[in-house]
Amino acid sequence: MADAPTLHTFEGQLNKDEALRAAFIKDPVGTMHKHGFALSPEQAAMVKSQFSEMQLSKLTSLQSRVGIVIEIRISIRF
């Protein structure tokens, strides 16, 4: 069985492979799914919303200079 993908490894691939980075910017959820990441419907919606807000897909001239950093944040408020 293949090792499960890690976000750190995927982030490195995104920053080295321009074609992968372009695919990720165009369809982050689909690209993550193709690389073995299972996102819940809520996570997928959040990723789509964040990418829509950033409007990276419209900046095709800058895609080769975009660096990808993937973070997971958890906050608990009382």
Q: Where are the domains of the chain?
A: 7-65
Q: How confident is the model at residue 32 (pLDDT cuts 50, 70, 90)?
A: very high
Contact 28, 51 (CB under 8 A): yes
Separation of alpha carbons 65 and 61, rounded Å: 9
Instruction: Return the percentage of the chain with pLDDT > 70, whole number.
Output: 64
Whole-angstrom distance, CA of residue 5 vs CA of residue 37: 7
CB 36 within 8 A of CB 4: yes
11: Cβ–Cβ under 8 A, 6 or more apart, which residues?
68, 69, 70
Residue closest to 5 by CA, chosen among 40, 33, 45: 33
- pTM of the prediction? 0.65
Q: What is residue 48's predicted lDDT score, i.e. its pLDDT?
A: 87
